């Protein structure tokens, strides 16, 4: 039996919690701040509000009256009170007499649960101590190298994936029964959720947060999400979540100017105000804010067993001039936000120190700062970075009428020049199918048949291009309408045979990706890709090799970007022998017209670029084919 700490020991622990929070080194601050059950009938409330004049805790248990005044520790700026009247499931807030005398009710920044929006009172709630059953999943993760494993992410906005007939979203209990089997069947390795933390406005998609430690009550209960993650792991599916440490909601009853002064935000109003997103920027150099944010990440990792964190809007955190408003240079005269830069390095160092198997992913749009790699080399320390340049160039290319593609061929080949500058994820994300940008399907040129053909071509290019993969929900079957955050996906599309075929294509392509080691085994090395021909702009056909560890383990990828079938097409190959077509985007079961694969190809001695042998085959219009060596002589060739 564990002995209860003595009063002296308890006071020492409390002092340590306060001191480390103040110095930016308390990485489990939620275990001290916020609401905590001491005994069956006693709760302690603690709040960081260093410049408040007075603070009361108000709620159902005291009729929301100012009867319970908290005491203040001026050394660390923390208010505290222990009460016997609160009961489970009752609501509460902190009533702050801010500096200057204004009195306002504020949320508990460390609450684990809030009432459903638009209301935002915290709920008296004991966070569950779950007995997890996913030990085998974590054991496998610790033994594997995620750089050399397949990673194909299904990006999801949880409340618009499926909805009930009354328009309310599925809870995670319902999503567990429907989403996990679907994702498993479709062959994805991970689900990535857009922010799940508490936020006041659905229109923000969760990117303007208020309750950083709380699963939004709109999506279900913490227990349901824990069970969902566990079920994913039992099905060999990882779970990633988006997180927003750069900026937060301006709502007056949340974190904004909490104690009447710049508490969570920068003191400089130009740095505090985020004009582009109508929000407020965290002061990332303030130690208490660092404790708050790093504790938040570890909380979601340790209490919900999530496998990775995708950090949103990293560019806004590391550049002072990223926003649309006025800015001032740093003390070195440059545009780097040094506080944000060093905070992100600290964040990644702490997370990797405790959980080296957790994926840290950056959504970052510049090329001026090294984002992935070792912190010791000057990097921010992330594992992966979204390749925004690839996404923008490729989508611009596929939107072009094919007659203009030969003059813009570099849009799909330029990424080969920098593909190893970072460890990349190739995203076709929610940002590209909203706000009038049109769905991926709708971006494609031509009639409906040609649009499906090009979507299959695009997905094949993404799957065969070096880098991990991400696709936003609904795109897998070619949803034509833009994503609507407040409506469920257009599942009715799947009554159409072409949408059914597109969904089946994506399923088969995803499985092909997982099965073919050449597509991921050497993903972050220079050996993984060899360009055969990236200069054939006249015919607008791209060809390259993806290489696995073993010499004979490679694939030849040929993509035709025009509506002209290329018959007797010549392509160089590294070794003489025979090659077999193993994937063709124009097969009838995928929605195309081909009923049989190309016949086996026998090499012919002929110079092609730096190759001494070639094969000849047919590449379908707006199609892609993949060939595998069947019987080759690796002692000759090249």
Q: How far apart are CA 37 and CA 40, in angstroms?
A: 7
User: Residues 227, 296: contact at Cβ < 8 Å?
Assistant: no
Among the listed residues 17, 363, 364, 521, the single catalytic one is 363
- Tokens 């988006």: give the residue: 242
In sequence order, the 6+-apart residues with CB closer than 8 A to the CB of 514 are 150, 152, 187, 189
CA angle 38, 47, 287 (to 5 degrees): 120
**H/E run at residue 83:** strand 78-83
The angle formed by the CA atoms of residues 224, 356 and 139, to the nearest 5 degrees, is 65
Per the residue annotation, which of 312, 323, 476, 493 is the catalytic one?
312
Report how far apart, in Å, the C-alpha atoms of 346 and of each of 25, 289, 371 are. 10, 13, 13
Phi, psi for 367 (deg, rounded to 5): -130, 15
Sort 106 into a burial class: Cβ within 10 Å, 0-12 / 13-18 / 19+.
buried
Q: Read off the DSSP letter of residue 637.
A: -
Stretch (H or E) spanning 156: strand 152-156
User: Collapsing DSSP states into helix, strand and coil, what is residue 613?
Assistant: strand
Q: What is the DSSP string of 192-234?
A: EESP-EE-S-GGGTT-S-SEEEEE-GGG--HHHHHHHHHHHHH
The conformation of residue 559, written as its DSSP 8-state character, comes to E
Whether 312 is a known active-site residue: answer yes
Of 422, 297, 290, nearest in space to 358 by CA: 297
- Cβ-Cβ contacts under 8 Å for 476 (sequence gap 6 or more): 154, 186, 502, 503, 506, 507
Rounded distance, CA 44 to CA 34, Å?
Answer: 8
If you write DSSP's letter for every residue of 424-450 in order, what string do you get? EEEEE-GGGSSTTS--HHHHS-SSHHH
Q: Rg of the chain over CA atoms, in angstroms? A: 27
- By three-state DSSP, how is residue 628 classified? strand
What is the C-alpha to C-alpha distance for residues 523 and 419, in angstroms, rounded to an integer?
10
Which helix (H) or strand (E) covers residue 582, if one does?
A: strand 577-584
DSSP, collapsed to helix, strand or coil, labels residue 581 as: strand
| 171: helix, strand or coil | coil
Contacts of 136 (CB under 8 A, 6+ apart): none
Question: Which residues have C-beta within 8 Å of that of residue 64, sequence separation ≥ 6?
Answer: 58
Does the active-site annotation cover 363?
Answer: yes
Q: Are 478 and 441 in contact (CB under 8 A)?
A: yes
Element (H, E) at 607: strand 604-608
Which residues have a catalytic role annotated? 312, 363
């Amino acid at each position: 039996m564990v002995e209860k700490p003595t009063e002296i020991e308890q006071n020492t622990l409390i002092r340590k919690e306060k001191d480390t929070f103040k110095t930016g080194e308390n990485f489990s601050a939620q275990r001290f701040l916020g609401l905590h059950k001491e005994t069956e009938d006693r709760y302690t409330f603690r709040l960081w509000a260093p410049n408040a004049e007075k603070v009361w805790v108000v709620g159902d248990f005291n009729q929301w009256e100012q009867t319970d005044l908290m005491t203040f520790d001026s050394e660390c700026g923390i208010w505290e009170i222990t009460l016997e009247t609160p009961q489970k499931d009752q609501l509460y807030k902190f009533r702050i007499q801010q500096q200057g005398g204004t009195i306002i009710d504020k949320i508990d920044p460390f609450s684990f649960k809030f009432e459903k929006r638009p209301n935002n009172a915290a709920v008296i709630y004991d966070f569950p101590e779950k007995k997890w059953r996913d030990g085998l999943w974590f054991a496998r993760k610790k033994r594997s190298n995620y750089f050399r494993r397949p990673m194909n992410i299904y990006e999801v906005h949880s409340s618009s994936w499926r909805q009930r007939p009354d328009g309310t979203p599925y809870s995670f209990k319902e999503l567990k029964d429907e989403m996990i089997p679907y994702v498993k069947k479709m062959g994805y390795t991970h689900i990535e959720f857009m922010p799940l933390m508490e936020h006041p406005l659905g229109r923000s998609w969760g990117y303007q947060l208020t309750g950083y430690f709380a699963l939004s009550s709109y999506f279900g209960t913490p227990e349901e999400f824990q069970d969902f993650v566990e079920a994913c792991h039992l099905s060999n599916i990882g779970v990633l979540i988006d997180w927003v440490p750069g900026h937060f909601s301006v709502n007056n009853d949340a974190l904004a100017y909490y104690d009447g002064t710049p508490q969570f935000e920068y003191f400089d109003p130009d740095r505090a105000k985020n004009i582009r997103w109508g929000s407020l920027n965290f002061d990332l150099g303030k130690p208490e804010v660092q404790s708050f944010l790093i504790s938040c990440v570890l909380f979601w990792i340790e209490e919900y067993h999530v496998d990775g964190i995708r950090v949103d809007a990293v560019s806004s955190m590391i550049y002072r001039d990223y926003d649309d408003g006025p800015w001032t240079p740093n003390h070195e005269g440059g545009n780097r936000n040094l506080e944000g830069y060093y905070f992100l390095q600290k964040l990644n160092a702490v997370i990797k120190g405790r959980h080296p198997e957790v994926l840290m992913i950056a959504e970052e749009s510049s090329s001026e700062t090294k984002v992935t790699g070792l912190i010791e080399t000057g990097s921010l320390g992330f594992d992966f970075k979204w390749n925004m340049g690839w996404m923008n160039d490729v989508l611009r290319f596929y939107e072009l009428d094919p007659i203009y593609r030969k003059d813009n061929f570099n849009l799909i080949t330029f990424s080969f020049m920098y593909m190893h500058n970072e460890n990349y994820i190739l995203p076709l994300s929610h940002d590209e199918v909203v706000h009038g940008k049109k769905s991926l399907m709708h971006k494609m040129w031509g009639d409906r048949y040609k649009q499906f053909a090009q979507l299959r071509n695009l997905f094949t290019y993404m799957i065969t291009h070096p880098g991990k993969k991400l696709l936003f929900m609904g795109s897998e079957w070619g949803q034509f309408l833009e994503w609507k955050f407040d409506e469920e996906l257009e599942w009715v599309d799947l009554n159409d045979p072409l949408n059914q075929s597109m969904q089946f294509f994506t399923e088969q392509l995803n499985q092909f990706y997982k099965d073919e080691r050449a597509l991921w085994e050497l993903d972050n090395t220079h050996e993984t890709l060899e360009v055969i021909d990236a200069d054939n702009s006249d015919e607008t056909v791209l060809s390259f090799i993806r290489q696995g560890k073993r010499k004979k383990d490679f694939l030849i990828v040929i993509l035709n970007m025009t509506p002209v079938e290329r018959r007797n097409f010549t392509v160089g190959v590294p070794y003489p022998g025979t090659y077999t077509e193993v994937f063709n985007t124009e097969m009838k079961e995928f929605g195309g017209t081909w009923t049989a694969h190309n016949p086996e190809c026998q090499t012919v001695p002929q110079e092609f670029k730096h190759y001494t042998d070639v094969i000849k085959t047919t590449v379908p219009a707006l199609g892609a084919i993949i060939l595998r060596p069947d019987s080759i002589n690796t002692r000759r060739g090249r």
